[in-house]
């Protein structure tokens, strides 16, 4: 028998509390399976987001036993007999395990998360060498679940900080051989709310369900920003 202590919050009465649900959990069961069982068989008012059940859509990111994880990817057998399930930290709770991700999406869209090119794109396929593609492998794996940004204490204290998810995305485009907006992109992050606000706390790395390293991406961007600034100094002389 496993006890799930699930965070409950109803906007109607504004009361937050944990409610315990006891479940028999067979091997191979995920936390999302258990939340669905609770919803369908014990309490239909329990609210949470989910969609693909395959660790691709990122919808079911939540805090499980103190760590941000995907509920669909987390096997209950890897947890203890009592499992605490809470909404992602740092975002306002709408209901139960559902948070308002508006801040996350504002940070994400502010960095122009798409290819920018000044010259004409090629007529046919836009080829890259295996090495150029390899650099994009890790940052392209991001499913934008918000687990990293939600776990970053710097964002908790100052939401003007772009955060690890948006910065990882900047690196994904700066590193892309097809993108022609390096100067504009580095200008977005070479400031007190960009890469220089990261305190290398590494919680973003620990919480990523796809094993991406946003801190390393921030390091790459810092080096690129410094190189770019030095080039600018020489150009002015």
Instruction: Kindly state the number of chain residues that form the binding site for ligand F3S, as judged by CB under 6 A.
Output: 12
Does position 201 interact with ligand F3S (CB under 6 A)? The reply is yes
Q: Which two tokens stand for residue 160?
A: 């003007």
* Cβ closest to ligand F3S, residue 135 vs residue 201: 201
Among residues 137, 200, 234, 237, the one that binds ligand F3S under rule CB under 6 A: 200
* Cβ closest to ligand F3S, residue 70 vs residue 218: 218
- State which of positions 212-231 bind ligand F3S (CB under 6 A): 214-215
- State which of positions 143-182 bind ligand F3S (CB under 6 A): 152, 154, 164
* Cβ closest to ligand F3S, residue 101 vs residue 165: 165
* Distance in angstroms between the alpha carbons of the first and the last residue of the chain: 72
Stretch that binds ligand F3S, among 12-20, 120-128, 188-196, 198-206 (CB under 6 A): 198-206
Q: Phi and psi at residue 47, in whole multiples of 5°?
A: -120, 135
Write down the least CB distance from residue 215 to ligand F3S, Å.
4
* Largest Cα–Cα separation, the chain: 72
**For the stretch 108-145, what's the b/e string if a residue is b when 16 or more beta carbons lie within 10 angstroms of its beta carbon?**
beebbeeeeeeeeeeeeeeeeeeeeeebbebbeebbbb
* Nearest alpha-carbon partner for 195 in 208, 173, 214: 214
* Cβ closest to ligand F3S, residue 98 vs residue 216: 216
- Which residue ranges make up the site for ligand F3S (CB under 6 A)? 152, 154, 164, 198-204, 214-215
């Amino acid at each position: 028998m496993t006890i799930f202590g699930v965070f409950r919050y109803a906007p109607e009465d504004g009361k937050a509390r944990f409610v315990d649900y006891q479940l028999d959990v067979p091997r191979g069961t995920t936390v999302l399976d258990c939340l669905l069982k609770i919803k369908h068989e014990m309490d239909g008012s329990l609210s949470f987001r989910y969609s693909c059940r395959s660790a691709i859509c990122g919808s079911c990111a939540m805090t499980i036993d103190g760590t941000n994880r995907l509920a669909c990817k987390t096997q209950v057998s890897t947890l203890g007999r009592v499992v605490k399930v809470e909404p992602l930290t740092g975002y306002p709770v709408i209901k139960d395990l559902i948070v308002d991700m508006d801040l996350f999406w504002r940070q994400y869209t502010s960095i122009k998360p798409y290819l920018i090119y000044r010259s004409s794109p090629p007529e046919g396929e836009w080829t890259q060498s295996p090495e150029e593609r390899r650099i994009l492998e890790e940052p392209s794996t991001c499913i934008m679940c918000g687990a990293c940004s939600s776990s970053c204490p710097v964002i908790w204290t100052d939401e003007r900080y772009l955060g690890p998810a948006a910065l990882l995305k900047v690196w994904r485009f700066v590193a892309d051989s097809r993108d022609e907006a390096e100067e504009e992109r580095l200008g977005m992050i070479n400031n007190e709310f960009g890469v220089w606000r990261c305190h290398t706390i590494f919680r973003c790395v620990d919480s990523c369900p796809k094993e991406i390293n946003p801190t390393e991406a921030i390091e790459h961007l810092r080096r690129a920003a410094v190189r770019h600034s030095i080039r600018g100094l020489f150009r002015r002389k």
